Chain A
Amino acid sequence: MMNLPLPKIERNTRASQMGLLLAVLLLLAAVSAPWWAERSSQRLLTEFLYTLALAQMWNLLAGYGGLLSVGQQAYIGLGGYCLVVLGLQYGIHPFLIVPLAGLVTALVAIPTAAVLFRLRGAYFAVGTWVVAEVFRLLVANTASVGGGSGTSITKTVSGMPAWWRESTTLWMALALGAGATLAVYLLLRSRHGLALTAVRDSEPAAESLGISVPRMKWFVYLVSAAGCGMVGALIFITKLRIAPEAAFSMDWSATMFFVVIIGGIGTIEGPIIGTVVFFFLREYLSDFGSWYLIVLGAVAVAFMLWMPRGIWGFVASRFDLHFFPVQRRIRGLD
């Protein structure tokens, strides 16, 4: 009788162990940034982290859940306006509002999803955009939250030392950016993650295996709404002024698409790479105003046409590199 070696099922890769070490080091560096970084780079880091959080949320929604949304700005704006209502009007501490905003947006997302899920595919996408416009117009028509011209929210953070405010903002951005990445990672490694990727790959096939596709979609949509709501509240703590045009701006969605498409949709590493590329381009090109946006649009179109899996999709398939392995692989069969 031949003695066959038992095949081994791997979930971790060498890259993922190195990645873990690297991630811990980066996290430590980011947490301690208020003590060693300049104020401007600290702000840039904050922005980087909340952009990453938004990108992960859109990636979860579109890349894994198959729900193409062009209207996540609805929840970003709503999260921002939680500062106005809960902070200015009810006097709740702004940093406490961030998690509350997640709760509020998730609650609002329930009836919204009930209506939107009547549309499928690309129709759903444009429908989400309509919803974001409805939210924007409703807010713009409500005088008590500042109407169309918006309002200052400086009062919510007055009395807080600047160092403390900026450091806490950074830590919360870190919690959201790293938290969103980790949450997506853990979700995908769980049983539900397997269901989710099955839904992404083929809805009918997933359904035939006993996965409730509608339930997965509801779950992903609500999680993404809550995530965008929390980020929205945090964004406007850093900006200190909110207006409907900016809060419910299509630019948020444009940024999320760009980051996820360039980085690699349906991968966890993708949004990280994409955010880095996005900030790199912005650093060097944003002085060119409209031309900067034209270049971003052209780059996104070019990627979609010639490298639809993004930078990370290309790297991962070429070099078999996975920092956040979510799949199981069988080794030792050959």
Chain B
Amino acid sequence: MAEWINTLLQGVLLGGLYSLFATGLALSFGVMRMINIAHGDFAILAAFAAIAVVEPLGLSPWMTLLVIVPLMGGFGYVLQRLVLNRTLGHDILPPLLVTFGLSIMIQNLLLVSFSADTRSLNVGELGTASVLLGGDVAVGVLPLIIMAVAVGVLVGLQWLFSATSLGRAFRAASDDREAAQLMGINNRHIYGVAMALAMAIVAIAGIFLAIRANISPADGPARLLYAFEAVIIGGLGSLWGTLAGGVILGVAQSIGLKADPGWGILAGHLAFLAVLVVRPNGLFARTRDR
């Protein structure tokens, strides 16, 4: 019994990490109406960047967040302004294929610079520490921290969207591009800022991933798929839905993994397809896909 409770708790907390991956994707879905196929690869890129600076700069893995996250955010803004904005329009093909091309380029650039070996960020004892909740039930400290950060990011975004003029501009640009522009909103800049935010959040996700597990240059696409599944399970347009989606995915994977080591990821995919059959708009959809 305790074993299953542990599995369940692990799954729930894994959902925190998935939610971090999904939030950035949901943001670019929501504001730009584009899917960034290279989303997972940017996370892995950020993680490798952290691994690269951790030793030469003598930083602790946590401190790399302060360096890499703003860097990735800036990179996101520039990428959106210079490249991705040019692909936006009524046709969904250009953004999809441009980001797909970027995905292949990032994976292979990482392969050239870091080889195919797996790497990780070592945080010492904290990485394996756990809190006993009574009986044989325990949760890891690191997954708890990640979950807390994921919730924190969502609270921050919630506030941003509902209480700031930037959030209002995001919503306006998302609802109606042309009308937003007529009201004096500079869509290109707004999209740049949204991508900067998405990229900063996915950088956090990537660095946490490298702290939690081993990563290799080809890991990006799998991360994109989990993020996508969390967004769709949660329902488009729902910020907190991505957390729910992440948790459902995490629990499905943990249970699958417990049943058979080969079935973990598959169980997550099947949970996604099941939701798609039962609730095509996701569990907490607030907007409809147009």
**Chain A residues with a Cβ under 8 A of chain B:** 62, 68, 70, 115, 118-123, 125-127, 129-131, 133-134, 137-138, 140-141, 148, 250, 254, 257, 261, 265, 290-291, 293-294, 296-298, 300-301, 304-305, 308
Contacts and interface: CB of A to CB of B under 8 A. Distances in A.
Given A250-B221, A290-B111, A68 B104 contact: no
Interface string B236-269: 0000000000000000000000001011011001
Contacts of A115: 273, 276-277
A257 B97 contact: yes
Contacts of B272: 130
A137 B260 CA distance: 13
A129 B265 CA distance: 14
Given A119-B276, A133-B269, 15 more contacts: A119-B280, A122-B96, A127-B232, A130-B225, A148-B262, A254-B100, A290-B109, A290-B111, A296-B104, A297-B102, A297-B108, A300-B100, A301-B102, A304-B101, A305-B98
A148 B260 CA distance: 14
A118 B280 contact: yes
Contacts of A297: 101-105, 108
B160 interface: no
Given A301-B102, A305-B87, A261 B289 contact: no
A254 B104 contact: yes
A122 to B, nearest CB: 4
B198 to A, nearest CB: 15
A126 B256 CA distance: 22
B98 A133 contact: no
Cβ-closest 3 pairs across A and B: A301-B101, A297-B104, A118-B280
B204 interface: no
Interface of B: 34-35, 37, 83, 86-87, 92-98, 100-105, 107-109, 111-112, 221, 224-225, 228-229, 232, 260, 262-263, 265-266, 269-270, 272-273, 276-277, 280, 289
Contacts of B221: 129, 250
B101 A121 contact: no
Contact of B35 (A123, A257, A261, A291): A123
A119 B228 CA distance: 12
A137 B265 contact: yes
Nearest to A299: B101
A293 B273 contact: no
B98 A304 contact: yes
B96 A68 contact: yes
A121 B260 CA distance: 34
A195 B189 CA distance: 40
B139 to A, nearest CB: 28
Nearest to A251: B104
Nearest to A126: B228
Contacts of A119: 232, 276, 280
B224 A126 contact: yes
A293 B276 contact: no
Contact of B105 (A62, A129, A137, A294): A294
Contacts of A298: 101, 105
B68 to A, nearest CB: 22
A134 B269 CA distance: 7
A137 B224 CA distance: 17
B283 to A, nearest CB: 14
A140 B261 CA distance: 12
Given A118-B280, A293-B108, A308-B94, A130 B228 contact: yes
Contacts of B86: 305
Contacts of A137: 262, 265-266, 269
A294 B109 contact: yes
Contacts of B276: 115, 118-119, 127
Contacts of B37: 70, 126
Nearest to B231: A123
